[in-house]
Chains A and B, each alone.
Chain A
Amino acid sequence: MSGARVWRFGHDINTDLMQPGHALLRPVSEQPRYVFEANRPGWVDEVQQGDVIVAGRNFGTGSSRPASRVLRELGIGAVLAESLNWLFFRNCVNYGLAALECPGVHDAFAEGDLARFDLASGQVVNETSGISLRGRPWVPELLELYEAGGIIPRLEQEGLIVR
């Protein structure tokens, strides 16, 4: 993947901001419109397919709710953060959203820069400035789940569940 537009966020961005409690009661297809309504109202209308979130420390702190699925439904292509809450990270793997922990990433990007990343190597490149960083790569088992589209499609492929 190359040349994805960056949206920049701060530290400690929690899952309630991504998927507010009231949105949980609505159909999945309607949930994306409420992403970040509390901290960045109107943002969802500007997001385009494949855009990337660059964030600070502790992105995704909070609930077990599948906030990663809502970001994916919204069209977000990846989350690149200084650090990720690991429950949120699990949900990224399991719902097929790319996410990398990459120290230095928050300062390496300005809003609107173009980002390129590779989960297998953990490499993150700012195509606008030329800066290249090394994040924590995904192990092959997790890459496989991601490439299958998440954990539910994988279980379907294996014939273990039927939708």
Chain B
Amino acid sequence: VIAEVPYALPGEILVCIDSHTCSAGALNCAARGIGPAEMVFVLAKGRTWFQVGETIRYELSGVLREGVAPKDVFLHLASVFGDHVGRNVEFGGPALATLSIDARRTLTTMCAELSAEFALCEPDDVLERHLVERGRGRTIDGAVRPDSDAAYEFVRALELDSIEPMVSRPHTLIHNAWPVGELAGTRVTRAFIGSCANGTLTDLREAAGVLAGRRVDPGVILLVTPASQDVYRRALREGVIETLMDAGAVVTASSCGMCAGFEGNLGRGDVCIASSTRNFRGRMGSVDAEIYLASSATVAASAVAGQITGAHELSGAAVGARS
């Protein structure tokens, strides 16, 4: 909601009691999670401290292929480069302009899962439009850009065309994600679309694109939790919610949903595929359950097939899952 309204603005510093506060980095806001006790300190003092780590820049080029989502980009990054403990992450390059704010939020939110400090996207016209449309006027003027002589620990190229749908195996996503084809056929009993990273309107549309005219496998329960009431209302107006429900998805009130273990907990032996943020053991209920992570499109396709499946592998209607 902080990133959606948005309360987070370019060039500002923001703290909140939530590890995924870095989501607001999509808006060029230096945002990070802090613990509950520290929030008391911030409220009392109006200040806090930060450690300043090295910065790693991801230079995005090309364009995402049909059916490939920003979550796949992230899972690719996590599988290749592993954790980013104490590092700041910067996303820029010519392909940033092809990514919506929702898409950028998936990337910056998920940087918490790399143990990154701050995660920021460079400001551009897409961000400016986003702010103006939400009544934030010329706040883009406060945005920060990298210095021409900025020193990076690494500058890494991310060629979007070369990325394919990815799935992370259970318990950690560090060096643990694989192309969907390599895990295809893994049976699933549960599926979840939601969270601060992937409960956006873009995600719900992606899922609806896959589920339109199809049915969730009788052996699978698919929960869809819009990330906010605003996302829920807009998806309702667009007919997206109806498409999801027609396919047999259970659409819940907006919240963190299964990602925080708030509802629909996994039982012993359950295998879940989720587009949410974490696949930690026990995260969604039983410690004897397994959680795979993937894009909302891959989750929807897997819910239909009853096993891990790429959206492009489903027979029938064409899939338009690019965001």
Contacts and interface: CB of A to CB of B under 8 A. Distances in A.
A20 B40 contact: no
A12 B114 CA distance: 10
B261 A61 contact: no
A63 interface: yes
Given A37-B287, A57-B85, A95 B35 contact: yes
A64 B32 CA distance: 10
Contact of B37 (A17, A62, A86, A94): A94
Contacts of A63: 19
Contacts of B35: 64-66, 68, 87, 90-91, 94-95
A87 B19 contact: yes
B235 to A, nearest CB: 27
A38 interface: yes
B34 A58 contact: no
Nearest to B44: A160
A85 B261 CA distance: 22
B19 A62 contact: yes
B174 A12 contact: yes
B interface SS class: loop
B34 A64 contact: yes
| Candidate in A63, A84, A89, A95 with the most chain B CB atoms within 10 angstroms | A63
Interface stretch (A45-53, A108-116, A123-131, A148-156): A148-156
A155 B41 contact: yes
Contact of B278 (A62, A86, A90, A94): A62
A150 B117 CA distance: 22
Interface residues of B toward A: which range? Answer: 35 or more
Given A12-B174, A17-B280, A62-B19, 4 more contacts: A21-B261, A61-B85, A83-B83, A86-B115
| Candidate in A64, A66, A141 with the most chain B CB atoms within 10 angstroms | A64
The 6 nearest A-B residue pairs measured at CB: A21-B261, A38-B287, A91-B35, A16-B280, A85-B115, A64-B33
Contacts of B320: none
A86 B86 contact: yes
Interface of B: 17-19, 21, 32-38, 40-41, 44-45, 49, 51, 53, 83, 85-86, 112-113, 115, 117, 172, 174, 260-261, 278, 280-283, 287
A48 B281 CA distance: 26
B212 to A, nearest CB: 34
B31 to A, nearest CB: 12
A16 B19 contact: no
A132 to B, nearest CB: 23
B281 A17 contact: yes
26 contacts: A21-B260, A21-B283, A37-B282, A37-B287, A38-B281, A58-B83, A61-B113, A62-B19, A62-B278, A64-B19, A64-B21, A64-B35, A64-B36, A66-B36, A66-B37, A84-B85, A85-B115, A86-B51, A86-B86, A86-B115, A91-B37, A94-B38, A151-B38, A151-B41, A152-B40, A160-B45
A122 B33 CA distance: 26
A121 B51 CA distance: 18
B85 A83 contact: yes
